[in-house]
Structure 1
Amino acid sequence: MPLLNKPRTATSGAYGGDPAPRSLIRLRTALTVFFALDGFLFAGWVVRIPAIKQQTGASASDLGLALLGVSAGAVVTMTLTGRLCRRFGSHPVTVAAGTLMSLSIALPAQAHSASSLGLVLLVFGVAYGGINVAMNSAAVDLVTALRRPVMPSFHAAFSLGGMIGAGLGGLVAAGLSPAAHLLALTVVGLLVTAVAGPTLLRHPAPVSAPASVSAPASVSARASVSAPAGPAARPSGRTRRLVVLFGVIALCTAYGEGALADWGALHLEQDLNAHPGVAAAGYSLFALAMTAGRLTGTALLERLGQTRTLVLGGATAAVGMLLGALAPTAWLALLGFAVTGLGLANIFPVAVGRAGALAGPAGVATASTLGYGGMLLGPPAIGFLADWFSLPVALTTVAGLAGAAALIGYAARKSAS
């Protein structure tokens, strides 16, 4: 069954006879801005990790433990954000988390030891976890209302924001201190939240009923703009297992995003003697490739379907990361990063979107917790493996998990169809 099989009109979609296409467009624009802001702020932090590492005098394992603060704060928050979204709505939670993330981005530059860095990253992790679950919950509802598989476009905005944030970070790395850079990001984040936030606060999110297992994610649920009703029916055991399965797929691929974000620049600079600007460009190139892949994600899903998209993406990312980790020169490693970005581009949004279609906000929260848990727990794991073996060897685990995601997606093709 194709993902797009009926024309849209001014009154079609979740709103029935109420013509509100402009409201949908405004919501989509504002939500896209928050996805881009999330990527922009996160990338601005990660490109300064080498400087923060030097500032705190942390070893690779010490830095890994400090980064665990982001992981702990985010994962704990993600388990609660689904409930917050059900009680207050995903839009207010998105705005609140965006404000907190903008404020907390300035804190790492004030740390002068690995332990203090871990504490401030705990606050950053709380904000990061909250905004990602809230945004994805809002996006799933909007995808249902639009009746098109546009979930990759939101994640393309995240990647585009990451590319811009990393690119600007690379440009200012040599001439601007981490404290000044991250404080500037706080100002930008608060301004963007003040501009885009009111749109989300004025318009409630479309409320969708959980989809049946056999229905496509983009057209499977009915939606309305009424306030949230009572508690949704408890998903069946099979549905819960499928949600967890998609969460594991998201985890396998998000592990690679986190690893490249936190360790890619250090690998290029430390192992391949790349200039700091070139090292910072590594994550920017990775984000650019992910952006390109996600901008074409809707067309890819309509043409290939979910299973082929997952399998092809996982296999491509595995090959690309082997090149990125083991290449003897920085330029070959950069090529590997780009191929990895193309491969990973659509796996996470497909997995989270499918989980949301199956079980609503609870499904998004579960899959996001697993997925972003992989993104945030991956970097500390890479740090320990780098100490025990080497950073290039540690980065090959990204290829292994990407291949595992492809295998799981293929094995689950009948259950998830």
Structure 2
Amino acid sequence: MGASRTLLICLSLASAGMVGIGVLAEVAPSLVILFVALMAFGVGYSICDVAMNLSGAANERRIGRTLMPVFHALFSVGTMIGAGVGALMEHLSVPIGVHLVGVGVLGLVAAQVSVRFLQPAEHVEEPAAAGAGATGVDTMADPLSDTPDPAGWRSRLAVWRDPRILLIGVIVLGMAFAEGSANDWLSLSMVDGYGLTNAGGAAMFGVFVTAMTVGRLLGGRVLDRFGRIPVLRGTAVLAVAGLLLVILGPNIGVAAVGTVLWGLGASLGFPVGMSAAADDPRTATASVAAVATIGYFAFLIGPPLIGLLGEQVGLLNAFWVVGVLAVLAGLCAPAAREPQPVSR
């Protein structure tokens, strides 16, 4: 369907699902209809996520600068705004159904308005012979064109046999696991492990999200200067160091420093993985979808895994699994190496 139509349809689908969830919460609770609404939200959100990352990668190629971390920083900003609005709605005793319907309606409006301002994803021809750009790949057949992709299912599934794509998927998996584990369990771990109040635990999560946002806002410049591999290795080290301070810290001050390092360390793995997966425009759509699928697996298994381990050994000790995956992501960093220019 092309990038623009996909974003319009899928963002609208996700927003409609949110409206449906809100209406059900207030009017007529129904498990079957709720299932349909949640499926609409999940399917629309996930496909929209892939399309947004593809569009971000196209902008990076055309502008020649690292932009993906900034786009993901705005995702983090949205998370903070959403949390703040949710807290305000709770404080004002606004029914949750009304809240969700309002969010869904805003999403529908945003879908109609924002897509109009997207840069048309037309074919881009580099000034090189036969359409070979500086990266050595054919840039004339950009998959972000607003025309259907003629590739068959077999060629799309072929990326799952590409070792590079699978290793990039491991990078995203490890860092998505680090991000998702903090989203779901950091606040409670601070309450259980360090004796903070619920408000204090929530504040510590705010520290984490702020660190992630800062890391993503600054990440583009750092990546352009040092390259993907050193940055991915460095952020993996930061994430592991932060986790060690959170798990083993003698007091909340040390844990707070660890939370900042953890947030900075987890900030760039997902956006860099999306950019790396889209390096070859000919296979970018299938590659980004594959890497996103692997990354979403972390969000699927991460929360219950940490919860189950937390019941047995405590939440802080359960975070050792997150550290192991962060180490694995750092070891796979060479897979995200930038394309080499073609010698002439």
Q: Aligned-pair distance for 1:156?
A: 1.4
Q: In structure 2, do the counterparts of structure 1 residues 126 and 333 end up closer, same or farther at CA, with 3 Å as the change threshold?
A: farther
Q: CA RMSD in A?
A: 3.6
Q: Is 1:405 aligned to residue 329 of structure 2? A: yes
User: Which amino acid in the other structure matches residue 368 of structure 1?
Assistant: A
* 1:374 corresponds to: 298
Pick from 234, 238, 243 the counterpart of residue 165 of structure 2: 243
Q: 2-side partners of 1:273 and 1:187: how far apart? A: 40
Q: TM-score, normalised on structure 2?
A: 0.78
What residue in structure 2 maps to residue 390 of structure 1? 314
Counterpart of 1:149 in structure 2 is 66
Give the partner amino acid of 1:345.
S
Change (3 A) 1:284 1:165: farther
The partner residue of 1:355 within 260, 269, 277 is 277
Residue 204 of structure 1, CA deviation: 3.8
Q: Indicate the residue corresponding to 1:32 in structure 2.
A: none
* Alpha-carbon separation, structure 1, partners of 2:123 and 2:182: 35
Q: Deviations over 1:20-70 (max 9, x none)?
A: xxxxxxxxxxxxxxxxxxxxxxxxxxxxxxxxxxxxxxxxxxxxxxxxxxx
**TM-score calculated relative to the size of structure 1:** 0.66
Secondary structure in structure 1 of the residue aligned to 2:227: helix
1:90 aligns with 2:90: no
The AA in structure 1 aligned to 2:117 is T
Q: Post-superposition shift, 1:252?
A: 0.7
Q: 1:308 Cα shift?
A: 0.0
Who is 1:188 aligned against? Answer: 106
Does the 8 A contact of 2:160 with 2:290 survive in 1?
no
1:259-278 alignment runs, 5 A limit: 259-278=181-200
Query: Offset at 1:320?
Result: 0.9
Unaligned 5+ segments in structure 1 are: 1-87, 210-214
- Residue of structure 2 in register with 1:299 after alignment: 221
Q: Distance in 2 between matches of 1:144 and 1:307?
A: 18
For the residues of structure 1 that align with 2:250 and 2:89, how far apart are their CA atoms? 27
2:44 aligned partner: 127
Which residue pairs with 2:289 in the alignment? 365
Q: Deviation digits for residues 298-328 of structure 1, max 9, x if unmatched? A: 2111211111011001110111123234445
**Aligned partner of 2:80 among 150, 163, 166:** 163
Change (3 A) 1:123 1:334: farther
Change (3 A) 1:187 1:415: closer
**Which residue of structure 2 lines up, in the alignment, with residue 227 of structure 1?**
147
Quote the Cα distance in structure 2 between the aligned partners of 1:346 and 1:336: 17
Deviations 1:111-163 (A, max 9, x none): 9x9x9999465554323322211211222222222222212121111122122
Q: Which residue of 1 is the match for residue 129 of structure 2?
A: none
The separation in 1 between residues aligned to 2:241 and 2:248, in whole angstroms, is 11
Letter in 1 for 2:322: V
Structure 2 stretches lacking a partner, 5+ long: 126-132
Q: Does the residue aligned with 1:230 lie in a helix, a strand or coil?
A: coil
Cα distance in structure 2, aligned partners of 1:216 and 1:331: 48
